[in-house]
Amino acid sequence: MSRSGPDGATQEPTGAGRPRAGRRRGVSMADVARLAGVSAQTVSRVSTGHPGVVDSTREQVLAAMRQLGYRPNSAARALKYGEFRTIGVILFTLSSTGNSRTLEAIATHAADAGYVITLIPVGAPTQDRLLGAFTRLGELAVDAVIVIMEVHLLDAATVAVPPGVHVVVVDSDAGDRYRVVDTDQADGARQAVHHLLDLGHRTVWHVAGPRESFAAQRRALAWRTMLQERGRPTPQVRRGDWSAESGYRAGLDLAGDPDCTAVFVANDQMALGVLRALHDRGRSVPRDVSVVGFDDIADAGAFIPPLTTVHQDFAEVGRRCVEAVLRQVRTGVPETGTTLVSTRLVVRESTAPPPGG
Amino acid sequence: MSRSGPDGATQEPTGAGRPRAGRRRGVSMADVARLAGVSAQTVSRVSTGHPGVVDSTREQVLAAMRQLGYRPNSAARALKYGEFRTIGVILFTLSSTGNSRTLEAIATHAADAGYVITLIPVGAPTQDRLLGAFTRLGELAVDAVIVIMEVHLLDAATVAVPPGVHVVVVDSDAGDRYRVVDTDQADGARQAVHHLLDLGHRTVWHVAGPRESFAAQRRALAWRTMLQERGRPTPQVRRGDWSAESGYRAGLDLAGDPDCTAVFVANDQMALGVLRALHDRGRSVPRDVSVVGFDDIADAGAFIPPLTTVHQDFAEVGRRCVEAVLRQVRTGVPETGTTLVSTRLVVRESTAPPPGG
DNA sequence: TACCTCGATGTTTACGCAAACATCGAGTGT
DNA sequence: ACACTCGATGTTTGCGTAAACATCGAGGTA
């Protein structure tokens, strides 16, 4: 059998009126040009808004476009221009509020600049998967990439970034290799600790995020540094995995320590768990123990009691990411260095002076 | 400081040597072909994995590809094939857990099928914005669209879907026009009410979501229907906007009604607010009042007390969306009808028999 | 009037890829 | 030995667009 078609069956004659699944070969400039009685180039000029087309002609062309339902083929444009007007976003998970909201801001601001976002999900945070994502990236139609993740892993992947594709990273210490945009974790943590010490607490306990997280590292470091600067003892760190469940375990542990009157928890979800643990152990918040979180998630104000926490401006992080990445695309010059977005402490009802303080 | 990369320092001699912002005119098949000493078509065959290339030749080509860092230009491929292998996702917001997780599942499953996701954010849920999104869609390089939203608005936008672009909708009643994939809201609500009645509560109060939401409508309808079927009184509905804050207000209201011993809240965030309101008013959960939520967000188990709630399988919703949309792309035949994803009740500690029951 | 300018529009070409078709040469059958 | 087959590879072509260049005609200038 002459294997002319993929399945050896009779190949359809493309001219016949079969609906051709998938192929939607739409209206092209040539079709519009024919109807309007002009050349395809004139249609192109109208379509791109170039000057040098007389009004009457322009009107004719626009009418023809409307009549045929013409829409420019972005693949052809991309081919011609050598750019896709697309930004890839590599991320591990959307389950964290921060990632979702950053992504949303990125998408919005990219859209404003005429760019669209392509999502490149990386199943699990392993080197393999990440390299796979970067490899796939090579075949993807993107002009630039924003990476949202914990970035020890980025090292090995460095080589894999296709040449000419610009990179911005969120939540990383890769500022020596890429442009990094991040919340000012250290300052946020300092505000939290400062607030608790100012209320009169002798020192502040800490429930940290996972060891691999740079955000967690920096929050913990700032907490420790601040206590040392003020000459306060630094209690042993409890460590969670960002989940409320892990916060609950840490909270049970802390509840057993009568000295503990103030806790800085590295995120709101774990803080929720801490609150429940303290509640379960009969320790009143804020009367017996004060708790400060980090993130200011939407629900923080509805916790029992409403949580004092460090507000992160994810929208601003997203905005800066897009700004930086498009700047690189425009100039063609890769950037390095870190851009910090400031935080602010939102004081609610989970903090108070220490008992008898 | 030399880092010899594209820093403005020694640029690779790409013709004139100017860094050409944006243009990254990479390695093409022709370049690979030249180096490997074969024709471009042979490179193409290797690149697409077509048979009919002898091993030695293939090796040569692959070596040349590696050496030059070749990666296929997806714009050219898209132009040639007439398809983009891209699915657009239109959504209003990622701030709801459900949307984020559905999106994540969509992205993952699309990736498995060799498709990528393009995000089309719609700022505000207004007809104008939505029409704008659909219009932009026309210029976008997508083969199909998944719409995640409340869909009264979809009516007007119907006409705007470009021909040949297939559509799947989440959370809608547009099943007569599009394929709709959704959680089985009604069944979830029935399970919640059933559970509370079985515990011995005389009837069940309801805190509903916003009037415009189809999910909210269906949950409320199922709640009402179930009570009527069982011959129970149907208390007046309290209505919130999905936020914990609105749940708190509804909760304060309910706390004032001593008859109220069981509440079905239309989502977990509002349930969080209800819990806090009951706590603030000194009504113990579940001793005095039982509360059931909807969604089973990650934190639900850490509420005070841990929340009994209806678990939604967002991952499955996303999977079914991709499945349906790709089926339409493959066959070229648009589908209608509704696909329901089942729910299950997760019983935790916020429900118990009524006081004195 | 002859010549030039300049604006409006048309024609050619290339972007990178892969289907369709062409070629070439080594084996196969008679 | 000759035609013939078939697999491996090369050549041509076109996808839709827009830059670069070509043309054409109206109006201005000497």
Q: Does residue B67 lie within 7 Å of nucleic acid chain D, judged by its CB?
A: no
Q: Is the Cβ–Cβ distance between B298 and A244 less than 8 Å? A: yes
Per-residue pLDDT of B46-66, as tens digits, reads 998 888 889 999 999 999 999
Strand partners, A346: A309
The answer to whether the beta carbons of residues B6 and B19 sit under 8 Å apart is yes
- Which residue reads 């917001």 in tokens? B93
Residues 187-226 of B with CB under 8 A from A: none
Does residue B21 have a pLDDT over 70? no
Residues A178, A60: one domain?
Answer: no
Order of strands across the sheet that contains B179-183: A337-341, A179-183, A166-170, A144-148, A86-91, A116-121, B116-121, B86-91, B144-148, B166-170, B179-183, B337-341
In tens, the pLDDT along B217-269 reads 999 999 999 999 999 999 999 999 999 999 999 999 999 999 999 999 999 99
Whether the CB-CB separation of B90 and B146 falls below 8 Å is answered with: yes
Query: Shortest CB distance from A334 goes to which of B5, B71, B72?
Result: B5
C-alpha distance from residue B228 to each of A30, A213, B193, B259 (Å): 63, 52, 11, 18
Q: What is the arithmetic mean of pLDDT over B14-23?
A: 34
Q: Which residues pair with A341 in a beta bridge?
A: A183
Q: Do residues A37 and A58 both lie within one domain?
A: yes
For position B273, which CATH number holds? 3.40.50.2300
Q: Which domain holds residue A137?
A: 84-183+314-340
Does B16 reside within a domain? Answer: no
CA of A39 to C1' of D24 (A): 15
Do B189 and B178 lie in one domain? The reply is no
Evaluate if residue B40 carries a pLDDT over 70: yes
Helices (H) and strands (E) in chain A, counts: 12, 12
Closest residue on chain B to A138 (Cα): B71
Q: What is the CA radius of gyration of chain B?
A: 27
Nearest-5° Cα angle at A76, A73 to A80: 140
Name the nucleotide nearest A77; use CA and C1'.
Answer: D17
Q: Give the CATH number, domain containing residue B61.
A: 1.10.260.40
- B308-311 vs B344-346, strand pairing mode: antiparallel
Question: Do B90 and B193 share a domain, yes or no?
Answer: no
Q: Of the candidates B72, B96, B128, which is a domain's last residue?
A: B72
Residues of chain B found within 8 Å of residue A329, distances taken between Cβ atoms: 21-22
Nearest to A324 by CA among A182, A184, A180: A180
B154 and B49 assigned to the same domain = no
d(CA B134, CA A249): 48
Question: What pLDDT score does B97 carry?
Answer: 86
Cβ < 7 Å from strand D, A residues 62-121: 72-73, 76-77, 79-81
For chain A, list residues with pLDDT below 70: 1-25, 150-160, 357
Looking at the structure, do residues B213 and B307 belong to the same domain, yes or no? Answer: yes
pLDDT at A136: 76
**A16-60 pLDDT, tens digit each:** 333 333 345 678 999 999 999 999 999 999 999 888 889 999 999
Residue A295 in contact with residue A309, Cβ under 8 Å? yes
Residue A13 in domain: no
- Residue A22 in any domain: the answer is no
Judge if A308 and A318 occupy the same domain: no
Q: What's the rounded Cα separation, in Å, for the pair A80 and B74? A: 12
Cβ-Cβ contacts under 8 Å, B141 against chain A: 74-75, 78, 141
Residue A299 in any domain: the answer is: yes
Best CA proximity match to A186, nearest among A166, A215, A212, A209: A215
Query: Do B37 and B112 reside in the same domain of the chain?
Result: no
Same-domain pairing of A151 and A240: no
Outline where chain B has alpha helix (H). Answer: 29-36, 40-48, 55-68, 74-81, 97-112, 127-139, 154-157, 185-198, 214-229, 244-255, 268-280, 314-331
Which residues in chain B have Cβ-Cβ distances shorter than 8 Å to A81?
23
Q: Are residues B217 and B302 in the same domain?
A: yes
d(CA B234, CA A319): 48
Is B356 domain-assigned?
Answer: no
In this structure, is residue B351 part of a structural domain?
Answer: no
What is the model's pLDDT at position B258?
Answer: 95
Name the domain boundary from A38, A68, A98: A68
Q: Any chain B CB within 8 A of the CB of A18? A: no
What tens digit of pLDDT does each residue of B98-138 get?
899 999 999 999 988 989 999 988 877 777 777 777 777 77
Neighbours of B188 (CB within 10 A): 26
Residue B349 located in a structural domain: no
Q: Domain boundary residue among B296, B313, B330?
A: B313
**Residues B100 and B209 occupy one common structural domain:** no
Using the CB atom, is residue B51 less than 7 Å from strand D?
yes
Q: Are B166 and B274 within one domain?
A: no
Structural domains counted in chain A: 3
Question: In angstroms, what CA-CA distances link A228 with A222, A232, A294, A314?
Answer: 10, 6, 21, 30
The per-residue pLDDT of chain B, averaged, comes to 87
In a domain, B256, yes or no: yes
pLDDT per position as a tens digit, A73-101: 989 999 998 888 999 999 888 888 889 99
